[in-house]
Structure 1
Amino acid sequence: MRLGITGHRGLSAEVERTVRDALDAELRKYDPTELIGVSCLADGPDTWFAEAVLDSGGRIEVVVPAEQYREGLPGSHHAAYDELLARAAEVHHTGMGESTSQAHMTGSEILVGLVDRLVAVWDGQPARGYGGTADVVDYARRTGVPVDVVWPEGATRD
């Protein structure tokens, strides 16, 4: 089973705990020996998902949206990004250089094309910018990829 991830960044520590629990529960539905998680490794749900897949015994593949993608992530996230990227069974590139909204959406489109299902840590609201979680969910649905929404009851985002 190939599962992809998309989700909101910048979630509070309280929401992070409940989302991590929900992701663990989602992954328990699958045989870890046959599980491949696909992520762009942004800070937040992308990384929590990749860590959970590896912790469960699965493998990860990474989509790198742009050559400059890592530089656009928070500095505090670089070590986790580097570690997970090094553990990837396969790395996919968009071929884009600058880390723009278009590059992020292109990366997400590649991710959706690689998976059987998409897990979305999504509050159900429209994207706040092009390539946001809602855009990725919409793209997956339009291309026939099933989406499992993970959003803890009562959770909010900033």
Structure 2
Amino acid sequence: MSKPKPSKREITIGVTGHRWIRETLELTSAIDQVIETILQTYSGRTFTVLSPLAEGADRVIAKRLLRHQGTKLTAILPMPLEKYLGDFSSDESKKEFHRLLDQADKIIELSHPTSRDEAYAAAGKYILDHCDLLFAIWDGQVAQGKGGTGDIIRLARERDLPLVWIRYTQRDQNTKEAVQQEERTDRIFFERFPSQNPLSIAGEE
């Protein structure tokens, strides 16, 4: 069954995407383009962001959305906080996580399943169950593990959830290896939005 187009005053934006991305000017500009389209499409509404605040897309998108006055953040923790911190790559990453967590209006800690993959899958499902639209940074490839970005995108499409995703190439096919020299952000896709045509990044022919 199709999810109805949001008509309420508050719109909840779910966030998903890859971890191993770089916060480049090109990427943040693309995110800002998406945000501007969302603001125009749902003008007059307030916004809440649902994000696990994992490294990469979860944080980059949340940070850009929180720049807009009145936007609220609900942090969805896939496991207990101390265990979750162990998944972050550096002390600076943990500090950034805490800075964002301090901005959250609400923190939801999910019960911890038997594996980390299941925990992340549960967080993704929670976000899908509670968002009005999904905002993703994705390379367009199938998921490499349970609850990966590709899985979340597939479920969003099955639910006919409004979806916007930035295509970001950042890994070798069928591996988890980043390909920094080939990283590119080349299209924005809107699905089940009033305008569903892919957009070129500003400045691209």
Common topology (TM > 0.5): yes
Consecutive aligned runs of 4 or more in structure 1 exceeding 6 Å deviation: none
Question: 1:69 corresponds to which letter in structure 2?
Answer: Y
In structure 2, the partner of 1:64 is: 77
Question: 1:2 corresponds to which letter in structure 2?
Answer: T
**Structure 1 residue 81: Cα displacement:** 0.6
Give 1 or 2: higher strand fraction: 2
Q: What secondary structure, in the 3-state scheme, does the structure 1 residue paired with 2:160 have? A: coil
In structure 1, the partner of 2:152 is: 136
Q: What secondary structure, in the 3-state scheme, does the structure 2 residue paired with 1:2 have? A: strand
Indicate which of 89, 111, 121 corresponds to 1:74: 89
5+ residue gaps, structure 2, are: 1-10, 172-177, 179-205
Give 1 or 2: higher helix fraction: 1
Indicate which of 9, 19, 27 corresponds to 1:9: 19
Q: Scaled by the length of structure 1, what TM-score is found?
A: 0.88
How big is each residue's C-alpha offset from its partner over 1:36-88, in whole Å with a ceiling of 9 and x where there is no partner? 11111011111011111111221111100001222212123101111111111
In structure 1, the partner of 2:192 is: none
Counterparts of 1:78 and 1:99, CA distance in 2: 21
CA distance change for structure 1 residues 110 and 134 in 2, over 3 Å: closer, same or farther?
Answer: same
Indicate which of 122, 127, 141 corresponds to 1:111: 127
Q: How does 1:8-87 map to 2 (within 5 A)?
A: 8-12=18-22, 16-29=24-37, 30=39, 31=43, 34-57=46-69, 58-67=71-80, 68-75=83-90, 76-87=92-103
Instruction: Say which is worse superposed, 29-38 or 50-59, in terms of deviation.
Output: 29-38
Question: Considering only CA atoms, is the larger Rg found in Structure 1 or Structure 2?
Answer: 2
Counterparts of 1:132 and 1:79, CA distance in 2: 25
* Structure number with higher relative contact order (C-alpha < 8 Å, ≥ 6 residues apart): 1
In structure 1, the partner of 2:6 is: none
Aligned length: 154
Q: What secondary structure, in the 3-state scheme, does the structure 2 residue paired with 1:121 have? A: strand
Q: Scaled by the length of structure 2, what TM-score is found?
A: 0.69
CA RMSD of aligned residues (A): 2.0
Instruction: Say which is worse superposed, 82-91 or 100-109, in terms of deviation.
Output: 82-91
Indicate if the aligned counterparts of 2:78 and 2:112 stay in contact, CA closer than 8 A.
Answer: yes
Question: 2:34 corresponds to which letter in structure 1?
Answer: E
CA distance change for structure 1 residues 8 and 83 in 2, over 3 Å: closer, same or farther?
Answer: same
Indicate if the aligned counterparts of 2:22 and 2:56 stay in contact, CA closer than 8 A.
Answer: no
